Amino acid sequence: MKKLRVVFFGTGEIAVPTLRHLAEQGPCPSLVVTQPDRPVGRHQVPTPPPVKVAALELGMPVFQPESMRDDTACDRVAEERPDVAVVMAYGQWLPKRLLEIPGIACINLHASLLPRHRGAACIQAAIDAGDAETGMTVMHVAPKLDTGDLILSRATPIGPDDTAGSLHDRLAELAPGALDEVLESLAAGTARRTIQTEEEATYIGKLGREDGRIDWSWHAGRIERRIRAFDPWPGTFTTFAAPGGTEKRLKVFAPARVVAGSGEPGEVLPGEGDGLVVACGEGALRLEIVQPDGSRRMTGEEFSRGWLVPGRDRRLGIVN
C-alpha cells in the first residue's frame, strides 16, 4: 500500500476513535484541523473540542481556523501537500478550493447509510424513524452537504433499547475499519464511486432543545422511539401543573415502555405499581425515569406520588 499523506478534519467525540486509530496504525495525520475552542456551560468557560484534546495528547499539530473559507486557512492545509483529507464530524462547510488540495481525494465519514439521513442529526434520525439498521458511510466530499459519491458503507442493526448515545458509540468504533479499507483502495486506485440516488435521500438538520417537546397525540411507539432517539441530546420533555398551579417542565429519559391503556392524550392513567403511565394518541407509555425542573432524577412512580396534585388536572403537556 502506498504511504499516504493525510490531513484530518474533525471536531466531535465520534471522530476521536478514528483519529486515535490513524495515530497508532497509520497513516498518521500530519495536521489535525478542528474548530476553535467554544464557551461551554453556565459560566461559558472556553473549552477545546474533543478532537483537539485527543490530538494534543497524541502529539499531533492542531490548526483551529474560525472558517475554512479564509484563503490563509486553505494555504495552511496546502502546505501539508496531503494525498487525502479525511473529514469526520468537523461541523463546517469546506470550500471548493479546499476540496481540490488533496492529490487523491477528500473523503468524509458520515454516521448513516447514505443517501438516507443526510445532515447533522443523522444518528437521532435513524432511531426516530424506526429504521432496522444504520451505519457508517465513507464518501467523496462534494460542495453540497452529504451528496458526494459513495465509496463504502458498513451497517449495524438498531436494537429496541438503543439510544442515540449507545448508537453513537457503536458507530464511532465502526468507523476506523471502514476508513482502513477505503484508504487502501484509494492508494491502490481501486476505490469505487457510486452516485447517490436522490429519490432515496432524506435530510435532518441540527436539533435544538425545543425539538424534544413530546406530542402526546402521537402513538406510543413513535413517542418511545423519540425518547430514545433524543437521549442524550437534545433530550425530551413535557410539562405538568406543579403544586401551586405553576407550569413546570418534566424531562423524560430512556427507557420508556409501551403498555396497554387508553385515555385523553397526556392523561396520567391510574394503576397500582405501574409507575407513571401516560395515555397517547394510540396506546400508552410508562415513563420510568423523569426529572422535574429544579429537582433530582426520580422514578415515574415517585413523581406521580409526590408531584401530581390529587384533584388537579392530571395531564402532561397541558396546563389549564
Confidence of residue 11 (pLDDT cuts 50, 70, 90): very high
Q: What is the predicted pLDDT for the residue at 41?
A: 77
- Against a cut of 0.85, is the pTM above it? yes
Distance CA 145, CA 210 (A): 24
Task: Report whether pLDDT(318) > 70.
Answer: no
Confidence of residue 305 (pLDDT cuts 50, 70, 90): confident
Distance CA 270, CA 250 (A): 19
What does the pLDDT average to over 139-152? 96
Distance CA 244, CA 223 (A): 29
Q: What is the predicted pLDDT for the residue at 320?
A: 44
Contacts of 241 (CB under 8 A, 6+ apart): 247, 309, 312, 313, 319, 320
- Type of residue numbered 150: L
